Amino acid sequence: MPAHLRSIAMALPEERMPRAAWAAIADRITPPDVDRAVLARLADRSGIDERGCAAAGAGAAFYPDPGAAPPPGTAERMALWSRTARTLAARASADALARSGVDASRITHVITASCTGFESPGIDAHLIETLGLPRTCRRLNVGFMGCHAAVNALAAARDAVLADPGAAALVCCAEVSSAHFHRSSRLDQLVANTLFADGAAAAVVCAEAAPAHSPPAGAILATHGVLIPDSAGEMRWDVGNHGFEMTLGARVPDILRAHVGPWVLDVLGRHGIDVSDVGGWAIHPGGPRVIDAVAEALGLAAKATTPSREVLRTCGNMSSATLLAILARLRDASTPTPWVGLAFGPGLVGEMVVVG
């Protein structure tokens, strides 16, 4: 019996930040030696019109003017992550449960993912308490894996259901990337400041298909991953004294352009699927250049990347929550299956989910 993606739901912060508002924050937190024209170009080329930003709601006290106060330390950033991630995770998960038609008492596994914060007890325990899930739920946290963690979380949910058809898994990805904006002159950190956003997405996975009145999704047919050789230094995510620090190499799009095609074609071939058979593509928008590189590697038409670009435009890069958001867009548009989701993170690692 297959593991069905029974429902998907999203939650975004109340603090919504249009591009012009980001320009003002970027101007305040960026060192004076950085040309402001560079900041403007990064914003214009980001593909983002608006994104969630809990740090903006924290006000100037969280990101004060340079020289007025030191930047927030890791503990302060974790506090922002904790209160925001818990709120967003509970909202997204409650909505996913309601959409699924699966009673909270039936949930047997809670699988959470976040790379923007740590605490124990964590989001999983918070969801059990807040949503009234069984206290006997098996819990798993996919921590610090970055943008591709949703695939790992879905893989764990699928494994649970295939092992026990009576299982029902709640998957929740919650990220507060704005907790880690940095004052830096490094171009890659300026890019990270520009792209990353806050949000949560949740899904329910079980053996039964979604009810007839629900938008169609499908079964999680397979997940696959690949560690791309000689790329470990191109993307990193480290814990520093002033929050988590992203390293983004300029070669990432070129590396993906060279490696994604052979990997994806090989995997799809093993499942008897041709690129032309794929009804919907969910390409994690690490940025417009990442989408471009993957599309070129696979020879995809421009319209195949529209769902990814629309999520980037309206939500920003919400790290692990983003792939689920794109899958939800495919579902809402009644996009025919199979769907292929692709995401990339530190390593450099590619992760794939096939939904059919």
- Enumerate the active-site residues: 147
Give, in degrees to the nearest 5, the angle at Cα 317 between 94 and 64: 100
DSSP string, 79-124: HHHHHHHHHHHHHHHHHHHHHHT--GGG--EEEEEESS---SS-HH
Measured distance between the N- and C-terminal CA atoms of the chain, rounded to whole angstroms: 13
CA distance to 55, 114, 264, 342, 355, per residue, from 81 (Å): 9, 10, 34, 26, 31
Token look-up 């019109």 returns 49
Evaluate whether 63 touches 29 at the Cβ level (below 8 Å): yes
The kind and range of the H/E element at 174 are strand 168-176
Give, in degrees to the nearest 5, the angle at Cα 341 between 22 and 194: 15
